Structure 1
Amino acid sequence: MTDFADRPGEETYFAKPEHFFPHLVDGGKIPTEQFLSACQGIADFVEFLGKAFILVKNDIQGNVNKVRAKYETNKESQVYLQDLIDSDLAENGGKFGIATEGLLWLKRGLQFMLEMLTQMVIEYRSNSDHKKTENLTAVVDQAYQKSLKRHHGFLPRQAFKMLSHAVPYRHTILKAVALGKDNLDEICIQHIEAHLDNFRLNVQTLVDYYVSKNLETPEP
């Protein structure tokens, strides 16, 4: 992960330590506290996408709250997210509890946001004339196709088609990431890019754990 501490005056939303997804420890365990802090950061980031995305924001936020409520019942025994999942399953006879179902949908929402941020970086890097890649409609659509679409029925799919046309231009989003400062698009992209590796590793580890527990089917 990039060390942002030696870049004074270049603070951005994704350079804040509380928004970093954690490094895995002890052979692949996800530290719960830092994971939830990073998820809160993603939920708050969705506000940068405008009022049309309020349902996405509320969905991610609601699921973060469900998982955090479980975590706060006994932080000492649920230091790692895998332990929290096991505890919730044990309390519910091996079936989904509020926390594990909330985490299932949180995982899916994170997959969408991960793909969107990844595609946004790819589009920015694809053309030196950045004005030609400002429209993110295709980015949102591609992210949805790769993540949430297989879990949704007809009506949610139609709703996301509308969302893809409501997303602000990239520069507007990056100005919000720059905390209102202008002319930091490149720095913001660098900070988002540095954020992606641990984000992807956390999400994939969670996906794999859900599949191993027969809580989710493998992706095709």
Structure 2
Amino acid sequence: MTDTTEKETYFSHTDRMFPELHDDDRIPTEQFLIACQGIADFVGFLGTAFSPVKSDIAGNVKKVRTKFETDKERMKYLQDLIDIDLNENNGKLGVATEGLLWLKRGLEFMLQLLRLMVFEYNSNIDKSQTETIVGILRQAYEKTLKRHHNFVAKQLFKVLIHAAPYRKDILKAVALGNEGLEDVCIRHIDTHLDNFGHNVNSLVNYYYAKNLETRP
């Protein structure tokens, strides 16, 4: 039997992983933004119908990075960037903090989607029974983004999820076009979820603490 554990996949690159949190759950800004761009690029594997989602995440990454690059040392941690941006805007959301707000929401959705994908794959012996991801897309949306969207956006998303490719096609893209690496891809995605979750939770809690986001 061929050992595939060392095969390269999209998620086998450690530079796409979310960073370890520092003291007081502070998030290293540089690696966080690199990982966010990695998630935006992954959305591209969901097909052209999801291009607006990819563009939205990438656009918000750019807004935060633009602010970060004005003083990388002072904004080494994401929480510091938030504080500085709020201070410069009299306690209100600035371009960076508003962009980060929507980036956070998009990350919550993607984290939920990837968790559900891994869980569903590992929970079913007959993988062919769970090839469509429409169900987990709907679950992830309802748990995260739905409450932030207006009526029109909700209707658009209902249409969008039915354009999603099958899981096998997504995992083939994650495998960089190689066949037969579904198990490896799922394991590599799974290795990202802990840090991804810690980063999102830290950011979510900081926005709550600053009264910049409403609790569900």
Category of TM-score, reference length = shorter chain: over 0.9
Q: Which runs of 4+ in 1 moved over 3 A?
A: none
| CA-based RMSD | 1.0
SS at match of 2:102: helix
State the match for 1:15 in structure 2.
Answer: 12
Gaps spanning 5+ residues in structure 2: where? none
State the match for 1:207 in structure 2.
Answer: 204
**Identical-pair percentage:** 62
2:190 is the alignment partner of 1:193: yes
- What per-residue deviation string (whole Å, max 9, x for no partner) do you get for residues 191-213 of structure 1? 11111011011001100000000
- What per-residue deviation string (whole Å, max 9, x for no partner) do you get for residues 23-61 of structure 1? 001221000000000000000001100000011011101
State the match for 2:178 in structure 1.
Answer: 181
CA contact (8 A) 2:37 2:58 kept: yes
- What per-residue deviation string (whole Å, max 9, x for no partner) do you get for residues 156-207 of structure 1? 1111111111110001000110111110000000011111011011001100
State the match for 1:104 in structure 2.
Answer: 101
What is the alpha-carbon distance in structure 2 between the residues aligned to residue 176 and residue 75 of structure 1?
Answer: 34
Following superposition, the deviation at residue 125 of structure 1 comes to 1.3
Instruction: Read off the aligned partner of 1:32 and give its amino acid letter.
Output: T
- What per-residue deviation string (whole Å, max 9, x for no partner) do you get for residues 128-177 of structure 1? 11011000000110010010000001111111111111110001000110
- Spell out the pairing of 1:10-89 with structure 2 (5 A cutoff): 10-89=7-86
CA contact (8 A) 2:28 2:76 kept: yes
What is the alpha-carbon distance in structure 2 between the residues aligned to residue 61 and residue 40 of structure 1?
Answer: 6
What is the alpha-carbon distance in structure 2 between the residues aligned to residue 156 and residue 126 of structure 1?
Answer: 32
What is the alpha-carbon distance in structure 2 between the residues aligned to residue 8 and residue 190 of structure 1?
Answer: 9
CA contact (8 A) 2:5 2:184 kept: no
Of 147, 152, 170 in structure 1, the residue corresponding to residue 144 of structure 2 is 147
What is the alpha-carbon distance in structure 2 between the residues aligned to residue 157 and residue 122 of structure 1?
Answer: 25
Of 127, 148, 153 in structure 1, the residue corresponding to residue 124 of structure 2 is 127
Following superposition, the deviation at residue 8 of structure 1 comes to 7.2
CA contact (8 A) 2:19 2:31 kept: yes
What is the alpha-carbon distance in structure 2 between the residues aligned to residue 127 and residue 9 of structure 1?
Answer: 24
Of 82, 88, 92 in structure 2, the residue corresponding to residue 91 of structure 1 is 88
Q: Give the TM-score, by structure 1 length.
A: 0.95
Instruction: Read off the aligned partner of 2:122 and give its amino acid letter.
Output: R
Gaps spanning 5+ residues in structure 1: where? 1-6
2:114 is the alignment partner of 1:117: yes
Instruction: Read off the aligned partner of 1:186 and give its amino acid letter.
Output: D
CA contact (8 A) 2:134 2:164 kept: yes
